[in-house]
Structure 1
């Protein structure tokens, strides 16, 4: 049974934004989240766990991107979250390098 066309995204740009946000944006958020955890906690355990939990988080973020009304807004949210996690990575590396 095909999908009802009124629920599908009509704009090609919105479809492009949702697909790229789902694949790339979700991946960036997933990786930066786990790297931020690795910069503050035991690096080896976090990176081993990332093999499984990273994929699960990535898939969940893909679903969120396709549920969003506006693909560009979800891109901005994913970029903001990735920058926030990148800041946590930076702070964790500075704090842990001076603590040793």
Structure 2
């Protein structure tokens, strides 16, 4: 049974924004989140855990991107989260530059 057209995204730009936000934006948030955690905690354990939790987080962020009404707002949220996690990573490197 086909989907009801009133629930589908009509704009091709919104569809493009949702698809790219789901794939690229979700990946950026997932990776930056796990790198920020790895900078503050045990790197080896975090990277090993990331192989499973990173994929689960990425899929959850994909679902959220397609549930949203506006794809550009999701892009803004995902980029903001990526910048926040990158800033946390940067702050840890400033705070403890000799840690590997």
Give me the TM-score of the superposition, normalised by structure 1. Answer: 0.96
1:31 corresponds in structure 2 to 31
Contact 1:40 1:96 in 2 (8 A): no
1:57-91, Cα deviation, whole Å (9 max, x unpaired): 00000000000000000000000000000000001
Deviation of 1:99 (Å):
7.2
1:73 corresponds in structure 2 to 73
1:97 aligned counterpart, secondary structure: coil
Report the RMSD for the aligned CA atoms in angstroms. 1.3
Q: How does 1:1-100 map to 2 (within 5 A)?
A: 1-97=1-97
Higher helix proportion, which one?
A: 1
Structure 1 Cα separation of the partners of residues 52 and 99 of structure 2: 30
Q: Which runs of 5+ in 1 are unaligned?
A: none
1:37-75, Cα deviation, whole Å (9 max, x unpaired): 001000110011000000000000000000000000000
Which consecutive segments of 4 or more residues in structure 1 shift more than 2 A? none
Q: How many residues align?
A: 100
Structure 1 Cα separation of the partners of residues 79 and 87 of structure 2: 12
Q: Which runs of 5+ in 2 are unaligned?
A: none
Contact 1:65 1:71 in 2 (8 A): yes
